[in-house]
Structure 1
Amino acid sequence: MPPFSRVAVGLPQDTIKPDALKAGLAEFISTLIFVFAGQGSGMAFSKLTDNGSNTPAGLVAAALAHGFGLFVGVSVGANISGGHVNPAVTFGAFLGGNISLLHGILYWIAQLLGSTVACLLLKFCTNGMTTSAFALSTGVGVWNAFVLEIVMTFGLVYTVYATALDPKKGSVGTIAPLAIGLIVAANILAGGAFDGASMNPAVSFGPALVSWDWTNHWVYWAGPLIGGGLAGVIYELIFVSRSHEPLPSTDY
């Protein structure tokens, strides 16, 4: 049965139930923790090195901070919301039939708010330092970055499916936050020098909003959503075997 047959819209009243609101709050807090650590590390490195964050050492620092931050963000949210911490992960989960559309929208709102609040806190705590929006490096075109974001986010969401969403994951699920953090760190080392390696529309949205810099911002939405969606559909279609029991009618 194709994964699209399991896609659910959901009912508006389901999004205001206590469990749904708790899940949304968990996504808000997890994303805030992740963005504060990741964006904050870049700002700190820039300050300590007199704007030398675009160096090999800065790239390694960014990879470590984002990897550790995401490991924690996923871990603390896993038992409440699933620890998506990323609209692309939520979109991939939706296309694979693992979350309803309305619950996914609730997650998106929480994730974008978490990123924005993290950047506002960073700007206040650093006495007005700029929360830098993601940008393309010299010589990198928008279509280069677009494909790069698709590939990197595909790898991320594929990892999420294999370690966290696959019903056959067994004990492998216990290392899901670590694997997810590591793939993000690895992708930053691979793509950070080219377009910043976002893989996460929320991570891009907060800094862009607070600094009001929307240059090529669409790349950091379109690329991750396509990559995450492809990973969700492919993993569900090829690797997941389910009983194919229909969802309750209230979920449609």
Structure 2
Amino acid sequence: MSSNMWKDKKTYAALLAEFLGTLLLVFIGCGSGTNWGDGSGSIIQISLAVGFTLASIVQTIGHVSGGHVNPSVTVAMMVTQKINPILGFLYILAQCGGALVGSTLLKSVLPEEVRGNLGATVPHPSLSALQACGVEFLATFVLVFTIFGVCDKKRDDVKGSAPLAIGFSASACCLVAIKLTGSSLNPARSLAPAILSSTWTLHWVYWVGPCLGGVFAGLIYQFVFRAQGQRPTPKRQDSRDYEMCAKGDQ
């Protein structure tokens, strides 16, 4: 990694973007699941809130940091060499920090009687640890596979909004996985409420499953499905490579 990166304001802007983006995703996503006893917090409500929020965040900060807002996405980018490992590690720290602040803000504005576990993710009691891990693996695979597909710069057949497609994939996964595992798809999103509510039941599932799912999705797309067209890729100025999630090929 170029030493000039530390002197470049774009680096700090990218880290701030990941921090703020994850903060908002956790605040809104977990907040949408709050049960007020009036039918709120339904699976459809949560799924739409997560998808719409993710799409909005990626649209807003994608040009700054790539809009990862998820350690499993960043790990996939690192493994496929789309982001420098050191910068990727800093991204993950920013994401976890943002998630923790977002969860803390949510706790501060909710009445104590409806806080619950602040949206902490726990597998359904009827699922084994391996089954829960498999659900998170597959759901995150779908999300990251979508990200790599719609952000492939060599494709000229993709129409419409890439952020919206990413949001739709997240909503679809939530519709299936919420009852099973809480549909985390994001280690930072699970870590923050776990810390604040001391809910650690099979917490490792929410790191292993999403990260492995993201890595497999990234590798399969990169080496099997990546577009082979001759569309030119913008020249990199240095090794930071954090512009627009997966929207560039090495």
Q: Is the shorter-chain TM-score for this pair beyond 0.5, marking a shared fold? A: yes
User: 1:93-144: CA deviations, max 9, x gaps?
Assistant: 1111110101101110111111111110011111442313101113111110
Q: What's 2:58 paired with?
A: 74
CA displacement 1:160-211 (0-9 Å, x = unmatched)? 00112x1213473751110111111101111111111111111111111111
In the alignment, the residues of structure 2 paired with residue 16 and residue 203 of structure 1 have an alpha-carbon distance, to the nearest angstrom, of 30
> Partner residue of 1:4?
none
Q: Deviations over 1:9-51 (max 9, x none)?
A: x3566356311111010111111111111101111xx01438x
Question: 2:130 & 2:50 partners in 1: Cα distance?
Answer: 24
Q: Structure 2: how far apart are the matches of 1:175 and 1:216?
A: 36
Q: Which of 155, 158, 163 is the matching residue for 2:145? A: 158
Q: Which residue of 1 aligns with 2:32?
A: 41
AA matched with 1:32: L
* Whole-angstrom distance in 1 between the partners of 2:7 and 2:127: 44
Judge conservation of contact 1:15–1:103 (CA < 8 Å) in 2. no
Count of equivalent residues: 235
Q: Evaluate the alpha carbon distance shift between residue 249 and residue 183 of structure 1 in structure 2; reply closer, same or farther with a 3 A threshold.
A: closer
Find the aligned partners of 1:224 and 1:187 in 2 and give their Cα distance. 12
Is residue 130 of structure 2 the alignment partner of residue 139 of structure 1? no
Tell me if the contact between 2:31 and 2:119 (Cα under 8 Å) persists in the aligned partners: no
| Contact 1:36 1:122 survives alignment (8 Å) | yes
1:21 aligns with 2:7: no
CA contact (8 A) 1:30 1:76 kept: no
**Structure 1 residue 203 and structure 2 residue 189: aligned?**
yes
Q: Which amino acid aligns with 2:125?
A: T
Give matches, 1:204-219, under 5 Å.
Answer: 204-219=190-205
* Cα distance between partner residues in 2 of 1:123 and 1:170: 45
Distance 2:144 2:102 in 1: 23
1:97 aligns with 2:86: no
Q: How far apart are residue 69 of structure 1 and its match?
A: 1.1
**Which letter does structure 2 place at the counterpart of 1:39?**
C
**Structure 2 SS opposite 1:138:** coil
SS in 2 for 1:172: coil
Match of 1:113 in 2: 97
Where structure 2 has 5 or more consecutive residues not aligned to the other structure, the ranges are 241-250
Q: Is the 8 A contact 2:84 2:239 kept in 1?
A: no
Q: What corresponds to 1:172 in structure 2?
A: 158
What CA distance in whole angstroms lies between the structure 1 residues aligned with 2:209 and 2:33?
Answer: 23
> More helix per residue: 1 or 2?
1
**TM-score normalized with structure 1 length:** 0.85
- Give yes or no for contact 2:25–2:50 (8 Å, CA) kept in 1: yes
